Amino acid sequence: QVRMVESGGGSVQAGGSLRLTCAPSGLSLYAMGWFRQAPGKEREGISCIDYSGIQTYYSDSVKGRFTISRDNAKNTVYLQMNSLKPEDTAMYYCVADGQLSVTDFCSGKVDSLDRHWGQGTQVTVSS
């Protein structure tokens, strides 16, 4: 049974940092990613990483501020978020995909038959 446990969300002032953690279980050799959705906005794939940790993808909205990484020995994926802005406020979801390339995975434009979602963790950035 697949289980995705996210943690690390919370409230922070603009310019601050947070680190999200995702511990997937029941999965093997999956690319991992972080998506977010703010109220009234479309869901956005912001960062993805392949199983090896070599290939990564960042959306323009977070490039240079967020860093995705993974520790396969600990079966954990991280999203380090620095220089947070109020527009980063959203529900953040950890996602696993066993089918697509990192770019297609994060684009959100290609359907996958092998995708798993976490329950989400809220990030709120105040000005």
Q: pLDDT digit string (tens) for 20-76?
A: 999 998 888 899 999 999 999 999 999 999 999 999 999 999 999 999 999 999 999
Buried b (16+ CB within 10 A) or exposed e, 56-87: bbbbeebeeebbbebeeeeeebbbebeebeee
- The per-residue pLDDT for 110 is 87
Residue 109 in this model has a pLDDT that exceeds 90: no
